[in-house]
Structures are given as C-alpha cells and as structure tokens.
Structure 1
Amino acid sequence: MTPSTSTFTARLAQAAGVVEAGLEALLSDKARHGEIARPPRLMAAMRHAALGGGKRLRPFLTLEAARLLGHDGEGAVRAGCAVELLHCYSLVHDDLPSMDDDDLRRGRPTVHRAFDEATAILAGDALQTLAFEVLADPATDPDAGIRSDLVLGLARAAGLGGMVGGQLLDLSAEGRYGPADLSEADVRLLQMMKTGAILAFSVEAGAILGRADAPARAGLMEYGRALGAAFQVADDILDRESSAEALGKRTGKDLEKGKATLVDLLGMDGARRECRRLVEKAQGALDGFGPQGEVLRDAVRFVVERQV
C-alpha cells in the first residue's frame, strides 16, 4: 500500500465513521423542533435503509472537496449526510417491485422486504425530504446564499434532469415503453443522469461550502463528472464479473433484462480502457490543486479498482 493510498483508506474510513454518527443523530426517534411526532415504524425503515452499510463514498467526496479548500467542520459533515440520505432514498425506491424488484441491498433484505412496499415508499420519501431539510438548516452554513446553492444543486442533480430522469431512461432501456435500441451516446446520457449527477454534486457541494473560486470550482466539477462516469463503467464491469455474495446485491440484472451497457457496446477490454481514460481525465482536472489533491486522485482510482 503506497503512502497516498494509505492516507486515502484512512480518510475514507474516518468519513464513514463521522457520517454514520451524523446519520444516527438525524434518524433518532425523538421529534425535532417543528415536528409533531416521528412514527417508530417509519424511523425503523429509514434507519434500515441508511445505517450500517455502504462505503459512504458520496459524503466522503463532499468532505474531501471542502477540506481541499480549507473548509473542515460540521457543515461539511451535515452536507455529506444530506447527500447520503438522498442516495439512500434512491436505493429504496430503485429496489421496489415496480422498479428493479430487488430483494437484497448491502447484504440485507431491501426495505420493502424487511417491512412492506408502502412503508418503503414512505421511508424513501422521508429520507429525500430530510436531505433538503438538513441542507436548508442554518446549522449547515450560516450563509443563506450558500445553503440556497446547496439545495438548488442537489435538487437539480436528483430531479427530472438528473437522477430521476435517468431512472426513467433506465426503465425505457429495458423496453418497458417500446423497443429499446441504445447507442453509446444513449447509454452515456442515461448513466450521466442516473448515477453521475449525484456523484458530481457530492464534489460540487464541497466546492460550494469551501467558497471555491471559478477555476477551482470548474476543476472540481470536471473531476466529479469524470469520476461519476468511471464509477458507472466500473459498476457495469462488476455486475458481470462479481457475485451477489461479494457485492451484497443481485448481479447480472442488465444482461438478464437485455439492457445495453458500455460493457456490451465497447466489450470488456474496451470498458476497462474507458475506465482508465476517465481516471486520467479526473486526475488531470485536479492539476491546479497540486499535492493537496492526492486524496481525491486516489478516490477515483478506488472507484475503478474496487471489488465490491
């Protein structure tokens, strides 16, 4: 393990720990100011969805981008928690019978299996709205303009022009709404929206909190977009090569449904070359940060080399 990789591993573990603690506090049973009550079954389902699993890559990116700009504090942790809450909501809804119909997530029963479908829908709804509540709270940043930028950025990344729109394209790619014959450009667009938008915003959130100037923000945004694209190609490769036991979720879904991925369109060797190209692009986007950007450079290597 190289020194930089060792630092990355330690930072990733540290971020996972502080984010887990932050999520536990946000998902306690005790009603907060302005709330009437927190139904125990709903809270249990939300905790099942959000706690005790996952690499916490998205909040890690928020924390590290903010740290790179000299912003290291509770606000970055809260923003990272908000991104993770939004991500967990998307997993709960993606797993529903009407979507991907999955029984396993992070090695455990999916929320609709552990509880029921109606509870899962409501838990996802509540995780989503809580994410925006956290960003809008002055505890995240005293500057209302910064909080507004965070809310706006997450809404755009998660909504119709981002993750939700990408999910609709993903369903269309399965042939649900007519014949599906996806080109390489179609697949890249789908992946940029469904997966890449939230990953890119995770980096952008750190730039917003860190008051990045225009060149720094542009570099971080380019990095986030390339990392998001690399993540999805690597995920497609894992889906073909790994097992459900290793990943903690069902594999081979795209092949089973006849849905094209970049692995199909480029071949496995071509997909690996595309991963390497995207790693170089992401790392090059951080050139302006010098050695201080090394942990984020390691992050994109981790994304394409991970085995789970």
Structure 2
Amino acid sequence: MRLPERFFKERKLEHLVENQTSYTLNNASMHVFETHLQAEKVLLQFDQPVLASMLIGKKVMHLRDKESFNFLPGESLILPSNEVMCIDFPEADVDNPTRCLAMAISDEKINNVINLMNEQMPKVDGSEWALMDYNYHFTNDASIYGIIQRLLYLFTENHPSKDFFVDNMLQELIIRILQGNERDNYAKNASKLSSNNRLAYVMDFISTHLHEQLSISDLSKKACMSESHFYKTFKEELGVTPIDFINSERIKMAINLLKDPDKKIKEIYLECGFENRSYFNRLFKRKIHVSPGQYQSKFKKD
C-alpha cells in the first residue's frame, strides 16, 4: 500500500522507534508509524476503536486472548477502545523501515453507522449489528484495500471538504468490516450455528456441496425465503453475493488441492464444482494473481 507523496514531504522523523505522523479530522484520526530499528515489547494504546493496517515490513503482535502472530502487509486488525498492543519489530532497519497505519474512529461515528445498519439492514436472525469487542485480524479484500488507500490520500490532502469525504468513506469501511466479520464468523461456526440461523445453515450446506451445481433458487429454498429476499439478505449481511461466496469457497478448496503436484488441473476444477477451465482460471487468477498451473508448479519437487 502506497503512501501519498505529501506524507513524505510533511513528516518529521524524530524517533527511530515508532515515529508518528498524525492527521486529525472530526470523526477520525490517522497515525502513520515508522520504525527504523529492531525493537521488542513496544506498547501502544488508543482510547477509541482502531483500525490498524500494515503497509511495509513485519510486526509480531501480542494481544489479549490471542496467541502472538505475525502482522504483515495486506492485513488489518480491529482493536476495541483502550486495547493495549505489545509489538515486536524483528526486521526493521534504517533502509527498510516498518510502516503501519492506525486509524482511530470516534464512537459516535461508529454508533451512527451501526444504528443505520440496524434500521436499514436488519439481520435475518433478529440480532443487532454491533462493533466486535475482540481483536479481529483479517486480510484486506480489494474493496477494503481501496478504501484504506483512498483514506490515506484524503487525510493528507489539503481540501476544504475533506471531513465530508472522509466521513463517507468511513461509513463504507465500517459496514464492510462488520459484514466481513459476520461472514468469517459464519464460515468458522456454520455447522454450530446452522440449527438457529438460516444463513449459517445455507453456508454450511454450501461448504459441504461445493462439488455440486448450486443455484440461487435451490439455496433460497434451503433458507425458506423467496429468491429476491434471500439474495438481498445474504448480500446485506455478509457483504458478498451468494455466487461470489460460492466461488470464493471453491477457489479456497482449489488452492488446497493444487498443493498436490500430481493432481490434474481438470480433476481439481471439476472436484471444486467448476464446469469449465477458462472460468476457473479467470477466477483463480483474479484472486491469487497467478494461474492454477503456475501456483501448482510451486509444489513440484525438483
């Protein structure tokens, strides 16, 4: 993820460990941290919920109720208010600094968005949208990556309306993060939740029938909904269409199968429920950025 040129012109490097450049607006503040020396057990805390995203380099994060983990470029982390981060920087140096952004978002802004979601996008099981009170670590999808990149630009821009621009982007970011968290929660616990939640039941059915032809018509019947209501509910609650979710799960399955260098690609895409190779190749390359054949070649023994 690239920082705008204005950032490098305006910043002042005063500390080699966690040098901080900050931008503050009405409902959020963005802080870019740069570390130019290896360090351990650096503590960081915010009094508002925070989105942290890695830009360059590697951190090792130590958080409550979670095993230590590597925090890498392309990944983000949602932290509740007053969460203490204990951070190691095993690879930082003067020529290759570690860079991370932390965006603190006001409780008022988050609550306004959540209230809007509960009014206009109610959950199928009757529960309410709420900000998670735990640390949510995830890989940015294309939409969240694009929003963060846009926010990096807006926070550093000298524009009289940037508070308005940022507010609109924050709303979309909050919605997409909550939908992504819901999707991950369902995917991890679908079988456990399926008896009491129609979307979890459908997701559990999808995961065990990826090799079959799956249609909106059949899935909506499983959810006991009309096709239009099922499609709308699925997209609003999980942030993706049913077909996009099915294809994503099939690609995940293909990634695992391709680790066997002796398995034929035709055998793999049919096993994953794809009808033809060109469609499979196109979706795989869009997500993994290499063809299935190139990916499989990494696992071939010399």
User: TM over 0.5, yes or no?
Assistant: no
The structure with higher relative contact order (CA 8 Å, sep 6+) is: 1
If you compute each CA radius of gyration, which structure gives the higher value, 1 or 2? 2
TM norm structure 2: 0.33
Greater fraction helix? 1
TM norm structure 1: 0.32
Greater fraction strand? 2
